[in-house]
């Protein structure tokens, strides 16, 4: 079997990709971006949008009546998942151990051999690793989770993060895990590395926030459990589902002019306003939605503080936001009153905001296609104008 690009074979298993290293500034904002991604909803409860063909889904995108002119639509809309379930790509799995992979520690790459995966704590700010484990058929191995991991099958699993970005070390140790799998976006990182002193195997993955990265994460997580073949199947499914949904979105959009889109990160209580760029997944999301990515035009590689000048120059037609972030500034109308520069843009004049749950909108994993599907409905076929 061919070794995936960016990996190297170790003891008969696939190593993990080590091509991406986030700078400290980018990581800081990435942590902020999901600091409120924990949901109070039960992981076993349904949410509100869907993907074509999914259980309990809405009508497929190709059956919807799109807006005749998305630029003329007035009012905000919300994208929601109707089904949080993550179906295993090949049924429940038994890890094939030992498996040796590369762990991307802060001090440098190191080979780690996994011999026991009976009690696993997957950790990252978007819940992508736990979601990927579920897609691989390994949900029953999860004994602790980050607050962003919200899907059926983990409702009774203890949360071991304090504020979405900080680990509760004592809570982890009390669970007596045999394996911790993380990407370093939850910390302090040195505390997680020190779990090894307690006899816990720790693996740091290299996780790129993108749809391509979601497929690679499937392969990388699978390698930790010696399940490369299943990982390949999940990666193929993620890619195929995203491609099919992207094609359906293009048909739904038709020949209408691409909307100029930006992703605005908001935390009103802290006075934080950031325009997200190409390195945190926002550009990938906009591209697959058929929008014109203003971040690429303006060369915002990671994130950019929202200034009046930057917002007016960007002049988006539509602004993507996190639901809790929008709530933190008092909603659309209060945001426009407090930030007149936003009100001057086309999006502001039309109150054209699309929000989605903090833990969903920039999560990349087995539910990537569902996220795209839900956002496309809110962008191109929303409810009545307000």
Task: DSSP for 18-44, please give it.
Answer: ------HHHHHHHHHHTTT---SS-TT
Instruction: Read off the tokens for 331.
Output: 């909603």
Distances, alpha carbon 282 to alpha carbons 14, 228, 330, 373, in Å: 29, 29, 23, 16
CA distances from 252 to 12, 200, 249, 255, 345 (A): 45, 49, 5, 9, 25
* Percent over 90 (pLDDT), the chain: 75
Quickly list DSSP for 258-312. PPEEEEEEEEGGGTEEEEE-GGGSHHHHHHHTT-EEHHHHHT-SSEEE--HHHHH
pLDDT of 190: 93
Give 190-220 pLDDT, tens digit per residue: 999 999 999 999 999 999 999 999 999 999 9
Which residues does the chain have with pLDDT short of 50? 1-42, 45-56
Q: Looking at residue 386, what is its pLDDT? A: 54
Q: What is the largest CA-CA distance in the chain?
A: 61
Do 71 and 318 contact (CB within 8 A), yes or no? no
pLDDT at 164: 72
Q: Which domains does the chain have, with CATH numbers?
A: 9-23+87-236 (3.40.50.1980), 61-85+251-380 (3.40.50.1980)
Six-digit token string for 165: 């970005």
Angle between helices 228-253 and 128-135 (to 10 degrees): 110
Contacts 24+ apart (CB under 8 A), 192-196: 192/123, 192/167, 193/105, 193/106, 195/169
Q: pLDDT tens across 125-172, in order?
A: 889 999 999 999 999 999 999 998 999 999 999 999 987 789 999 999
**How confident is the model at residue 298, as a pLDDT?**
87
């Amino acid at each position: 079997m061919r070794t995936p690009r960016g990996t190297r074979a170790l003891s008969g298993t696939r190593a993990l990709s080590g091509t991406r290293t986030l700078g400290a500034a980018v990581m800081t904002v990435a942590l902020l971006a999901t600091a409120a991604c924990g949901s109070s909803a039960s992981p076993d409860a349904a949410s509100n949008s869907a993907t074509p063909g999914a259980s309990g889904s809405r009508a497929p995108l190709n059956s919807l009546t799109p807006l005749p002119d998305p630029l003329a639509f007035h009012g905000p809309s919300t994208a929601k998942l109707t089904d949080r379930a993550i179906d295993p790509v090949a049924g429940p799995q038994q890890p094939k151990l030992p498996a040796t992979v590369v762990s991307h520690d802060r001090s440098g790459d190191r080979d780690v051999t996994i011999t026991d995966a009976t009690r696993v704590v997957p950790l990252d700010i978007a819940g992508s690793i736990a979601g990927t484990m579920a897609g691989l058929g390994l949900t029953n191995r999860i004994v602790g989770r980050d607050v962003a991991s919200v899907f059926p099958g983990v409702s009774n699993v203890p949360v071991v993060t304090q504020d979405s970005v900080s680990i509760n070390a004592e809570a982890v140790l009390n669970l007596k895990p045999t394996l911790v799998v993380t990407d370093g976006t939850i910390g302090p990182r040195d505390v997680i590395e020190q779990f090894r002193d307690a006899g816990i195997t720790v693996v740091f993955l290299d996780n790129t926030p993108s749809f391509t990265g979601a497929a690679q994460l499937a392969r990388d997580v699978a390698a930790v459990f010696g399940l490369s073949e299943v990982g390949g199947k999940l990666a193929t499914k993620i890619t195929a589902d995203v491609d099919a949904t992207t094609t359906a979105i293009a048909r739904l959009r038709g020949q209408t002019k691409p909307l100029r889109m930006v992703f605005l990160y908001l935390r009103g209580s802290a006075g934080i306003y950031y325009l997200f760029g190409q390195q945190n997944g926002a550009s990938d999301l906009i591209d697959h939605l058929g929008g014109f990515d203003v971040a690429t035009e303006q060369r915002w590689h990671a994130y950019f503080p929202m200034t009046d000048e930057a917002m007016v120059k960007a002049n988006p037609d539509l602004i993507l936001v996190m639901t809790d972030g929008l709530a933190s500034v008092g909603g659309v109308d209060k945001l426009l009153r407090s930030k007149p520069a936003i009100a001057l843009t086309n999006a502001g004049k039309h109150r054209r905001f699309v929000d989605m749950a903090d833990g969903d909108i920039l999560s990349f994993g087995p539910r990537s296609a569902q996220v795209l599907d839900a956002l496309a409905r809110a962008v191109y076929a929303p409810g009545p104008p307000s």
